[in-house]
Amino acid sequence: TAASATGSDGIAVLEKPGSVAETFGIPLAVLLELTHRCPLQCPYCSNPLELERGGAELSTDEWKRVLSELARIGVLQVHFSGGEPTARKDLVELVRHATEVGLYTNLITSAVLLSRERLATLADAGLAHVQISFQGSEASLADRVGGFAGGHAKKLEVARWTRELDLPLTVNAVMHRQNLHLLPDIIEMAVQLDADRLEVANVQYYGWALKNRAALMPTIAQIKDCTATVEAARERLKGVLAIDYVIPDYYAARPKKCMGGWGRQFFNISPSGKVLPCHAAETITGLDFPSVRDGASIAEIWRDAEAFNRYRGTGWMQEPCASCAFKEIDFGGCRCQAFALAGDAAATDPACALSPLHDRIFKTAEAEATSGSDRFLYRNFAGGTAKDA
């Protein structure tokens, strides 16, 4: 264990100079959700249903202090995310500060608020990478999914500017029943946009996505096609486009190793400064997440906070996980999904075939995939707005 002291900026630091990240296994990359404000209203958003209001957000100085602290404890990379991070007027200042303290910066954006000039200023400030989310490859469908007219055309424009400014580009495509038929076109779009990487991310079902599951859940046939399309494209586009692929785990026999295991490889910071073991962690009620405003250092929160330690490792597991040969491989799946579907974050993730809930949930999902309505509940601060296709 390490002793704590107070740094020059008034926050507690761990007295392990130069080796905090290594000693405490602090992740090398951290997700910073600068704001929950967003012009889009995607029905699968991973933000909590209770969005944090603009007035609660960390100030520019608070975020700068966080960035300095992250660099000091050995973090190498930050992902500026949201909501929509470009909704923060101080984004350029934050990117510049991150660069000055030695952090590699990635912007995860819907792109619709960016001008070419602002993107160029971000590049000048040291922005190292841009990831743009797409809702499809056809404007009418993509704009309906995002709930934002004209969004798709703007994204294409910003993607081109990104490459003109010589910034590496990742295309992120969140896939579900209503856009999976577009996957071959989306792959082609990513090639045309000169992206280095395409993330084919099937929707994960908690938070807003769980509310919209009946409208989003793919059929088994769609998932088979999707896997075959990705495999063929990976082969064909070797050296041109790297493709990351996340299968929806409702259709797998074993769950994903979510977040690399709770409190093992990942944390993120919410708009108001809460340090979270997972971007959807606040969907689990009854956990208390410390804030960077509370006085403890980020390294202390990572090491000591109850919310991190509750599901860290394997000691908290119940059966069937507790005596399962895979428990160190998948760490019992996803805590947020276990809470959402089993009502207990310490339960086996029902995506696992060994969960007593698996068959029932899988059958419900299968039924929703074939007969669910396409109606979305759009994400917003009012708790969601339902609209027909």
Annotated binding site for [4Fe-4S] cluster: which residue ranges? 38, 42, 45
- Binds 281, which of ligand SF4, ligand FES, none (CB < 5 to 8 A, cut-off by type)? ligand FES
- Binds 97, which of ligand SF4, ligand FES, none (CB < 5 to 8 A, cut-off by type)? none
Cα separation, 75 vs 56, whole angstroms: 25
* Residue among 61 and 306 whose Cβ is closer to ligand FES: 306
* Residue among 239 and 315 whose Cβ is closer to ligand SF4: 315
334, 210 Cβ separation under 8 angstroms: no
Site string for ligand FES, 206-235 (x = CB under 6 A): x-----------------------------
Q: Which of 40, 95, 258, 301 binds ligand FES (CB under 6 A)?
A: 258
Between helix 151-164 and helix 139-146 the angle, nearest 10°, is: 100
Cα separation, 302 vs 85, whole angstroms: 24
Coil, strand or helix at 269: strand
2, 16 Cβ separation under 8 angstroms: yes
| Structure tokens, 112 | 């619709």
- Binds 334, which of ligand SF4, ligand FES, none (CB < 5 to 8 A, cut-off by type)? ligand FES
- Binds 336, which of ligand SF4, ligand FES, none (CB < 5 to 8 A, cut-off by type)? ligand FES
Q: Which residues contact ligand SF4 (rule: CB under 6 A)?
A: 254-255, 320-321, 324, 326-327, 330, 332-333, 348-349, 352, 354
If one asks whether residue 278 binds ligand FES (CB under 6 A), the answer comes out as yes
The nearest distance, CB 323 to ligand SF4, in angstroms, is 9
* Residue among 123 and 354 whose Cβ is closer to ligand SF4: 354
| Number of residues in contact with ligand FES under rule CB under 6 A | 10
Q: Which of residues 30-89 bind ligand FES (CB under 6 A)?
A: none
Strands 104-109 and 129-134: parallel
If one asks whether residue 281 binds ligand FES (CB under 6 A), the answer comes out as yes
- Binds 332, which of ligand SF4, ligand FES, none (CB < 5 to 8 A, cut-off by type)? ligand SF4
8-state DSSP, 129: E
DSSP 155-180: HHHHHHHHHHTT--EEEEEEE-TTTG
If one asks whether residue 259 binds ligand FES (CB under 6 A), the answer comes out as yes
The nearest distance, CB 337 to ligand SF4, in angstroms, is 10
Helices (H), 90-171: 91-100, 116-124, 139-146, 151-164
Give which of 92, 9, 42 is closest to 293, Cα–Cα.
Answer: 9
Residues 6+ apart with CB under 8 A from 171: 131, 132, 134, 159, 186, 189, 190, 193, 195, 197, 198, 199
Cα angle, residue 45 at apex, residues 41 and 50 outer, rounded to 5°: 90
* Residue among 162 and 337 whose Cβ is closer to ligand FES: 337
* Residue among 189 and 281 whose Cβ is closer to ligand FES: 281
Coil, strand or helix at 83: coil
331, 264 Cβ separation under 8 angstroms: yes
- Binds 211, which of ligand FES, ligand SF4, none (CB < 5 to 8 A, cut-off by type)? none
Would you list which residues are annotated within the binding site? 38, 42, 45
If one asks whether residue 365 binds ligand FES (CB under 6 A), the answer comes out as no
Cα separation, 29 vs 22, whole angstroms: 13
Site string for ligand FES, 324-363 (x = CB under 6 A): ----------xxxx--------------------------
* Residue among 151 and 333 whose Cβ is closer to ligand SF4: 333
- Binds 106, which of ligand SF4, ligand FES, none (CB < 5 to 8 A, cut-off by type)? none
- Binds 330, which of ligand SF4, ligand FES, none (CB < 5 to 8 A, cut-off by type)? ligand SF4
| Structure tokens, 226 | 């999707």
How distant, in Å, are the alpha carbons of 34, 38, 136, 143, 152 from that of 140?
29, 20, 9, 5, 8
Give the footprint of ligand FES on this chain (CB under 6 A). 206, 258-259, 278, 280-281, 334-337
